[in-house]
Amino acid sequence: MGIRKISHQKYAAILGCVFTVVWVLAAIKPLNFHDWLLENILSVAAVLILAFTAKRFPLSRISYTLIFIFLCLHELGSHYTYASVPYDQWCEALTGRTFNSIFGWERNHYDRLVHFSYGLLLAYPIRELFCRVSQTKGFWGYFLPLDVTMSTSMLYELIEWKAAEFFGGELGAAYLGTQGDIWDAHKDMGLASVGALIAMIMTAMINSKYQKDFAAEWWESLKVKSRKPLGEDELLRLRKEKNKSEEE
């Protein structure tokens, strides 16, 4: 008798408990308390959604693990504020050199890491939702997660912009975290997109190795399923159906 696998719900519960510890530690004397509150609105909402859906719609252990890693990275950034995570000091204490000096960087790049990780770590859980809810297959099972990652990354940048504009001052600057880079939002979205692209390429490569009908499914997903145009033609058809049903 082999080792019994931990159920998806139990696995999610274990990660939830570990994340709670991480969250509590990050909540202890954060560098900027109000920024910490702002940063945690979406993360707390995400955890609650995952908790309420774990029983009826459990995700794979891989997806739960990827989400967990991303949330932990986010909590570290929220504790110190993204522009002040002391990775340089940690690296210097371990190696005698700062991380930035090795690569010739000047700004704090922790926010870049998390934006890249957003795409790299969350594109697969998004793909799992598409495949299981809408039964997305083939090309669209890889393109749509990339597309959603890119669009939600853009949406987050818009939220950051309006929040920074609304709060202003030190809190707005801490939340926005541009560090004087006028192209900060563009770079963040670009890194998230690259991360998601890497994740989907890796997923496609693994699936192509083990899925026998990988190529057939891919090409089938690109075939035209209906040659009838939509738009005004579809509207006319719907009106005819409605009138017919009313007459009956």
Task: Write down the domain spans for the chain.
Answer: 8-225
Q: How confident is the model at residue 207 (pLDDT cuts 50, 70, 90)?
A: very high
**Rounded mean pLDDT, 173-202:** 83
The answer to whether 187 and 181 are in contact (CB under 8 A) is yes
Sign, CA dihedral 132-194-174-19, equals positive
Q: In this predicted model, which residue has the larger pLDDT, 25 or 180? A: 25
Q: In this predicted model, which residue has the larger pLDDT, 169 or 206? A: 206
**Rounded mean pLDDT, 69-94:** 92
Q: Cβ-count burial of 162 within 10 angstroms (0-12 exposed, 13-18 middle, 19+ buried)?
A: exposed
Supply the pLDDT for residue 173: 65
Q: How confident is the model at residue 187 (pLDDT cuts 50, 70, 90)?
A: confident
Supply the pLDDT for residue 116: 96
Supply the pLDDT for residue 3: 35
- Sequence length of the chain is 248
Query: What rounded mean pLDDT belongs to the chain?
Result: 89
Q: How confident is the model at residue 138 (pLDDT cuts 50, 70, 90)?
A: very high
Give the Cα-Cα-Cα angle 237, 240, 243 (nearest 5 degrees). 150
CA distance 103 to 117: 19
pLDDT tens per residue, range 101-131: 888 888 888 999 999 999 999 999 999 999 9
pLDDT above 90 as % of the chain = 59
pTM: 0.88
Residues 6 or more apart in contact with residue 189 via CB below 8 angstroms: 115, 150, 153, 154, 157
Supply the pLDDT for residue 130: 95
Residue 167's nearest CA partner among 77, 32, 74 is 32
Give the DSSP letter string of 36-92. HHHHHHHHHHHHHHHHHHTTTSPPPHHHHHHHHHHHHHHHHHHHH-GGG--HHHHHH
Supply the pLDDT for residue 170: 67
CA distance 122 to 69: 10
Supply the pLDDT for residue 168: 67
Number of H helices, E strands in the chain: 11, 0
pLDDT higher than 80, residue 180: no
Supply the pLDDT for residue 51: 93
What DSSP state is assigned to residue 6?
P
pLDDT higher than 80, residue 49: yes
